Structure 1
Amino acid sequence: MNGFDWPALLRAGLRGLALRPDDFWALTPAELRLMLGEESGARPMGRARLEELIAAFPDAGTGDGR
């Protein structure tokens, strides 16, 4: 996540979840995400990102799989 859409998060917290402002601001981003129904933890890596990492960090071995 590069940044937060504060207006949307405030609407979701104050209107959608009926939180009081002090309760909203006391939450961590992870807690708010959980309350909004998003999965917790990191999202799985996609194939495109795996390919980027393979290209950026190629195996330096002798081709024997190590």
Structure 2
Amino acid sequence: MTAAARRAEAPTKPAPPFPWEEAMAFGFGALRLSSAGFWSLTPRELAAAAEGVHGRRPPEPLGRGALSDLIRAFPDFPPPHAGD
């Protein structure tokens, strides 16, 4: 099985919903944007503004479950063949 086929079969979790409440609180409160100004931003622009205010945060470390999922999805070696 190819690596692409293994990735296609790997279970995927749905992305968490966008944190609109926190985004609006930051945009209206910290940045003091108008409604028009806030809603004209792209999520990437809002993230850049947050980084400018709060600084860049390191990514959260992987938990044991997430690491196990990655190891299963992307093994270092292909699994042995059934006849081996």
Unaligned stretches of 5+ residues in structure 2: 1-14
Q: Which has the higher contact order (CA 8 A, sep 6+)?
A: 2
Q: How many aligned residue pairs are there?
A: 60
TM-score normalised over the length of structure 2: 0.50
Percentage of identical aligned residues = 31
Alignment CA distance shift 1:51-1:26 (3 Å): same
Alignment CA distance shift 1:51-1:12 (3 Å): same
Q: Does 1:57 align with 2:71?
A: no
State the AA in 2 paired with 1:60.
P
Runs ≥4 residues deviating over 3 A: 43-51
Unaligned stretches of 5+ residues in structure 1: none
Aligned-CA RMSD value: 3.0
